[in-house]
Amino acid sequence: MPALGCCVDASVSPPLGYAFSWDSSLPAPELFSSGVPPATNAAAVTAGSHWSTDLSSALYRVDGWGAPYFSVNSSGDISVRPHGTDTLPHQEIDLLKVVKKASDPKKLGGLGLQMPLVVRFPDVLKNRLETLQSAFDMAVNSQGYEAHYQGVYPVKCNQDRFVVEDIVKFGSPYRFGLEAGSKPELLLAMNCLSKGSADALLVCNGFKDTEYISLALVARKLLLNTVIVLEQEEELDLVIDISRKMAVRPVIGLRAKLRTKHSGHFGSTSGEKSKFGLTTTQILRVVKKLDESGMLDCLQLLHFHIGSQIPTTELLADGVGEATQIYSELVRLGAGMQFIDIGGGLGIDYDGSKSSNSDVSVGYGIEEYASAVVQAVLYVCDRKGVKHPVICSESGRAIVSHHSILIFEAVSASTTHVSTQPYSGGLQSLVEILNEDTRADYRNLSAAAVRGEYDTCLLYSDQLKQRCVEQFKDGSLDIEQLAAVDSICDWVSKAIGVADPVRTYHVNLSVFTSIPDFWGFSQLFPIVPIHRLDEKPTMRGILSDLTCDSDGKVDKFIGGESSLPLHEIGSNAGGDGGRYYLGMFLGGAYEEALGGLHNLFGGPSVVRVLQSDSPHSFAVTRSVPGPSCADVLRAMQFEPELMFETLKHRAEEFLEQGEGEGLAFASLTSSLAQSFHNMPYLVSSSSCCFTAEANANNGGYYYYSEDNAADCATEEDEIWSY
């Protein structure tokens, strides 16, 4: 702890028995005495000086939110278990090794991808789908249910081509289908399901116009098992009219507005005032109109949605039971009912707390969820004497969240160091230029420090700073003197244990692009260092992104924490060259689709990783660099090629063409050309494609290096001529 000796005015004599060095007399706050940041998980952070990977696992709750896919290995890195509980020890994948393979330069055997990076594990996706199917199969068999379960993936959760194609491929043995909510989603679902199971459902949700309904009926003509779900009563007239003109017998579903509703953030899509669905009165009118049109047998599916992240199985069973009552009534009225679609809602545990009172957790597992659904449908149908329907669910979040990890780098951090020499002219010279009122505050501060009255000391410190700020505003204090007073006051706060111990870690990321749900409604995701977990985290920090916006930060974390335990940046204890990588987990749903172009930061680079029998247990099967500056500019209607020509022409016009300037012009235009092809994010010095040399040969301009160009551009990139 720094001494307060230099804070004591030389004109004030200390009482007998006191010294000018206050280290021994000041109480040592926990942060400085233990060297460990405070955290909710006290067991993890009070284990003394020895640290272990088990303590890191407990501190970051990895075993809670990460099981069975993520753990901390003996090297202190996050380990991925691609097959869940069936993963063998030799099949585990060290996430840091994946990141190094992706980001290392090509000349060193890497892929030359720039951060931030999304790492996708299709094996995890496959395991999630199989786990869901297995849970329902078990519930069906154990309870004597006389129909089957077949899932439907809502593509809005993640429309990436390879994600959707993987789900269709992995789900084909289980008749797993897709759900679309717009015309482009319907087109991609039609394309993907052409290679899927013939029995897989193509559920058409969302608001519909003539084009949407016509396209859905075309899918029906192509022998895709398409169901048009009525979200509004008015859509029925379009379906009847267009299906007759196209000579297609449609399969129709309807979405019911249930009275059951959960009160969390994600419950706004349920209840009588929900955005979508038909009331009981509207349902009866739809049945009547279909009957009059001779199409009542076309009504085969009932759909409903209680809301995402359903917190308890009690609420789930209540909603499913209500919907099954409606289903049974539709059967009684003569509809050709076959399917009950319970919508989404299967939650995941973002913070590992297994709490039923949180938007970021749920109090059940997949097996309990499936059992509650089957039991609720079974009970009502048996009581009503109705044939058991095929049970469908639209679980998106629960399927895709775990398989995708966002990796980003912390490039710097604010410092908490306070100089012991706040003013080059000496402390006494600063005191001498203060007015009498300010000097009085300083003498009071000094005396309080001598007496050990730390609350009073802090009060006088605040008064001193405020007076000096006012003096600076009226011009009677210069900026060096103001900075000196700030340093003194900050030093006092730190010495008596009230200084803010939280640092700001600057991360190579855009929160708006990559974690939009956090910015939009404070959705929490587990964020963890992916390495150095065999070291004790001695700092606490919040994360600040690259955008020019005060909202571009992450200052809320799982466990109710307002800061995150982190390590000192720059340490090479882990052999990582001083680079510090963090991972955001469970973000495979929604984040990529919702991300925008704030500050024109585009999406991340992406790698697709499969478990293999290679020495490192993985193989990268696909890598895609993130959008370049040119890509994001085109999204805003700019034409990068014309922009380059404009800047090149300006360089020709304003650069003097004297001796040696020809090389300078070529270097400048080369730099400009490559800049359009680079990603908008920061580039580490070790992988930068340009070098600055201020000499007569290039005039200080950056030049393009052919040797390492491949590490910054894709194979399709064409470096524009200059």
How far apart are the C-alpha atoms of 345 and 373, rounded to whole Å? 12
Within 8 A by CB and 6+ apart from 616, the residues are 93, 94, 97, 101
Beta strands per DSSP E along 598-689: 605-611, 618-624
Bond before 680 cis per omega within 30 degrees: no
How far apart are the C-alpha atoms of 603 and 589, rounded to whole Å? 15
Tokens encoding 442: 């300083």
Q: What are phi and psi of 256, to 5 degrees?
A: -100, 140
As to burial, measured by CB atoms within 10 angstroms (0-12 exposed, 13-18 middle, 19+ buried), residue 143 is middle
Q: Please answer whether residues 402 and 586 qualify as being in contact, where contact means their C-beta atoms are separated by less than 8 angstroms.
A: yes
The letter for the amino acid at 492 is V
**E strand or H helix at 554:** strand 553-554
Q: Is 437 helix (H, G, I), strand (E, B) or coil?
A: helix
Bond before 537 cis per omega within 30 degrees: no
Q: Mutual orientation of helices 280-292 and 235-246 as an angle, nearest 10°? A: 20
Unique residue bearing structure tokens 């890191």: 56
How far apart are the C-alpha atoms of 627 and 605, rounded to whole Å? 8
Q: Pairing state of beta strands 252-255 and 225-230?
A: parallel
Buried b (16+ CB within 10 A) or exposed e, 83-116: bbeebeeebbbbbbbbbbbbbbbeeeebbbbbbb
Residue 279's CB: how many other CB atoms inside 10 A? 12
Q: Is 596 helix (H, G, I), strand (E, B) or coil?
A: coil
> Does the annotation mark 489 as catalytic?
no
Sheet arrangement for strand 70-72: 70-72, 78-80, 93-94
DSSP 149: B
List helix spans (H) across 393-540: 397-400, 427-433, 436-451, 454-473, 479-495, 511-514, 516-521
Q: Please answer whether residues 364 and 122 qualify as being in contact, where contact means their C-beta atoms are separated by less than 8 angstroms.
A: no
Per annotation, catalytic residue among 6, 157, 298, 548: 548
Nearest CA to 304 out of 292, 289, 318 is that of 318
Kindly compute the dihedral angle of the four CA atoms of residues 629, 122, 127, 195, in this order, to the nearest 10 degrees: 110
Enumerate the active-site residues.
548
